[in-house]
Amino acid sequence: MRQAPCPRCGVHPNICVCDACQPISGAPPLWVLQHPSEVAQNKGTLRIATACLPDLRVLVGETPADFEPLAIRSQQIPMGLIYPTTASAALESGPVAQVREWIILDGTWRKASRIFLSNPWLNALPQFHFNAAPPSRYRIRKASRDDSVSTVEAIAHLLSQVAPGCDYDPLHAALNTLVKRQLAQMPSEVRQRYE
């Protein structure tokens, strides 16, 4: 008999990590703009972030119409964007004190770039890149760049810099569990590629 997906995260119980997600308090308001192609990714890490950060808000889309309410909000509340551009400042040393809410893009580099380029209002926000993010632990998903981190790792690094009193360790713990459970489901010859 086929097992039903987890009612909370929607993935198979063998790769569900809801039991490993602990709530985090003290985080600033966070928005994630998720590309539609990421919604059904069972390797996606955004589900960890949403389980650990109950106030995190996710908007799925690509065009300005998809994000219009947030674009309007960004004209009223100081927001910062985590995305490397020619105009971005290093998060670790940049002017982050005035930022009240943060936006992260969820998708491959190509899809995140498409969101950024399709939404001129994002270009008007202060932009930040990571200058010293820890190496990615997310070894089960290949990335096109050496400095790539998963969405949940990006959020953890952001919190480490802008919310020093916030315990973001639950994000790393849940990610480690996700990697372990995903590897356990792979045939040994496939698993060897990631170990």
Cβ–Cβ < 8 Å for 51, 174: yes
Q: How far is CA 124 from CA 78, 152, 153, in A?
A: 11, 25, 25
Neighbours of 193 (CB within 10 A): 10
- Separation between Cα atoms, residue 172 and residue 153, nearest integer Å: 7
> Coil, helix or strand for 45?
coil
138-188 pLDDT, tens digit each:
766 665 555 678 999 999 999 999 998 899 999 999 999 998 888 887 777
Backbone φ, ψ for residue 47 (5° rounding): -60, -30
Stated pTM of the model: 0.89
Helix axes 151-162, 169-185, angle to 10 degrees: 170
| Residue 143 amino acid letter | A
| Residue 154 amino acid letter | A
86-142 pLDDT, tens digit each:
999 999 998 999 999 999 999 988 999 999 999 999 999 999 999 988 877 776 666
